[in-house]
């Protein structure tokens, strides 16, 4: 695997953008409240299909994109990644950051229907396995990424569906899954800004969604719905030498005791990487 070195100004810009997100994000919220207890009789019940009658959460997106950083994950070993749309929407120059102060330029393809985007680079990391099945209430998810611009991760529990209503740039309504935060990296306080675009992993280490939003005061995390993930995976380009994405193939089993170690391994292998919008 080889990533070409970016110009020094590009890497410097990435660092500045990441620090800007951290400085602003820490002022946006207090710590998340304790998660609600599981509802007796609901745990393990199939979630059911999306409905226009599901509760809604409204998000106001600024008309102009600002420099930002987020998380991306590999879905093609020759340089195909998924991230959250709002991290790179309107971005003229995006980069996947790699070790030793290097980065690689990323081409951005926005999905108009979901808060998701496809990134393509020269060189990549092994594709992460995916689970395109239907989720069940109470199941755990693990979100490894770069909250506040630094390595970190969050654990959550599935509580239901909502409709994400976007006002402003990219206005639309899309179904999302709602998760209650149940744990996070030690010393990670406040906002989860920068975790957007991270994979939501099931207990077998398979991708079940893209992390797209948080509701800090409610202690909620939102990911793309399974219907959206199926569409995204089907649209993901296959590049020369790429095998198909390993659907339902297990990764490494994840628990609340080992998810920090596994997250570190995913970042070290660049299956989960930091993405930065450098120019808008």
pLDDT at 271: 95
Question: Which CATH number goes with the domain that contains 73?
Answer: 2.40.10.120
Tokens standing for 3?
């990533």
Residues 106-139 as b/e (b if ≥16 CB within 10 A, e otherwise) read bebebbeebbbbbbbbeebbebbbbbbeebebbb
- Whether residue 233 is contained in a domain is answered as yes
- Whether residue 121 is contained in a domain is answered as yes
pLDDT at 44: 76
- Whether residue 228 is contained in a domain is answered as yes
Domain that holds residue 53: 8-279
Q: How far is Cα 194 from Cα 87, in angstroms, rounded to an integer?
A: 9
Q: What residues contact 86, with CB distance under 8 A and at least 6 apart?
A: 61, 68, 115, 170, 196, 212
Q: Is 199 buried (19+), middle (13-18) or exposed (0-12) by CB count in 10 A? A: buried
Spans in the chain with pLDDT lower than 50? 8-30, 248
What is the Cα 21 distance to its own chain's centre? 16
What beta strand segments (E) does 66-206 contain?
A: 68-76, 80-83, 93-98, 102-110, 117-120, 140-145, 152-168, 172-184, 199-201
- Count of domains observed in the chain: 1
pLDDT at 242: 63
The mean predicted confidence, pLDDT, of the chain is 80
pLDDT in tens, 128-179: 999 988 899 999 999 999 999 999 999 999 999 999 887 766 677 899 999 9
- Whether residue 247 is contained in a domain is answered as yes
Q: Enter the pTM of the model.
A: 0.80
- Whether residue 2 is contained in a domain is answered as no
- Whether residue 1 is contained in a domain is answered as no
pLDDT at 186: 86
pLDDT at 124: 86
- Whether residue 72 is contained in a domain is answered as yes
């Amino acid at each position: 695997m080889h990533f070409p070195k970016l110009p020094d100004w590009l890497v410097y810009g990435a660092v500045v953008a990441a620090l800007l997100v951290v400085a602003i994000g820490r002022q946006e919220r207090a710590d998340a409240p304790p998660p609600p207890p599981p509802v007796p009789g609901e745990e393990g019940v199939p979630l059911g299909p999306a409905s226009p009658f599901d509760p809604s959460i409204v998000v106001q997106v600024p008309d102009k994109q600002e420099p930002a950083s987020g998380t991306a994950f590999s879905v093609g070993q020759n340089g195909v990644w998924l991230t959250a749309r709002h991290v790179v929407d309107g971005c003229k120059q995006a980069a996947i950051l790699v070790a030793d102060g290097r980065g690689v330029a990323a081409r951005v393809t926005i999905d108009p229907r979901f808060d998701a985007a496809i990134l393509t680079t020269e060189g990549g990391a092994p594709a992460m396995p995916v689970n395109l099945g239907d989720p069940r209430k109470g199941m755990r998810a693990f979100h490894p990424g770069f909250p506040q611009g630094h390595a970190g991760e969050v654990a959550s529990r599935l509580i239901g569906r909502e409709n994400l209503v976007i006002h402003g740039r990219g206005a639309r309504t899309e179904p999302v899954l709602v998760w209650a935060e149940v744990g996070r990296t030690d010393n990670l306080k406040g906002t989860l800004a920068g975790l957007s675009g991270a994979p939501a992993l099931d207990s077998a280490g398979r991708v079940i969604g893209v992390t797209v939003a948080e509701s800090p005061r409610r202690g909620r995390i939102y990911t793309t719905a399974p219907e959206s993930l199926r569409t995204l995976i089907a649209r993901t380009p296959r590049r020369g030498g790429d095998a198909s994405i390993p659907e339902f193939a297990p990764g490494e089993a994840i628990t609340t005791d080992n998810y920090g170690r596994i997250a570190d391994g995913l970042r070290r292998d660049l299956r989960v990487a930091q993405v930065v919008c450098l120019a808008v």
